[in-house]
Structure 1
């Protein structure tokens, strides 16, 4: 690399913009964690009722549901994963296609928001690591 390019990178890495770009994925991760706690406390029962014949929730829902906030977060994350790739979970028999189709829109929207928050924070963090490693 040229000396001028190295100086620019060094100055940028010490700037407040660089610090903000590095802190943002952490803030997003914390926000998604808090949002998952909110979903597990406020909407987990409605989600469980909407997916009443789900094989996963029948087997694991009762056990994880009694494990406090950790179990609630695990269940919310699993259900959010079901809505990201529903055809895979339908094919494996974990959920019924009718339940996915009839799932309440407001709950589906909240789960998609959760998944997007997690995905953006992971991609952003990976991009920043790559940027600063180069």
Structure 2
């Protein structure tokens, strides 16, 4: 193949491989959006219980731990993020629901950085040592 021909072939190959209407997205520059927790500290989540984190463009946080509403502030600087202080409503739910909510809130407070897993299209929240704390799917 001649040098420089790749600029013609790559779009052609993408057009043949990708389904019609598929967009190839650039790497996101913000974790803003509405996200559903799929995993908390490697322990999974309860089916049909939604722990949701919504991060607004201005850094406001809202969502639910599964029982109680969450509110607070996110500070995002590049790949660094801190969440909190977080406040919640104070309703009581079943022990299993409260346990997941407690784990979710504790994990959120330990978050120090974020990344988008572009293969799985997930928001990954990481701790101080780079360990995965929470994996979330866009809602």
Higher alpha-carbon Rg: 1
Instruction: Specify if TM > 0.5.
Output: no
Q: More strand per residue: 1 or 2?
A: 2
Query: Given the two structures, how large is their TM-score scaled by the length of structure 2?
Result: 0.28
Query: Given the two structures, how large is their TM-score scaled by the length of structure 1?
Result: 0.29
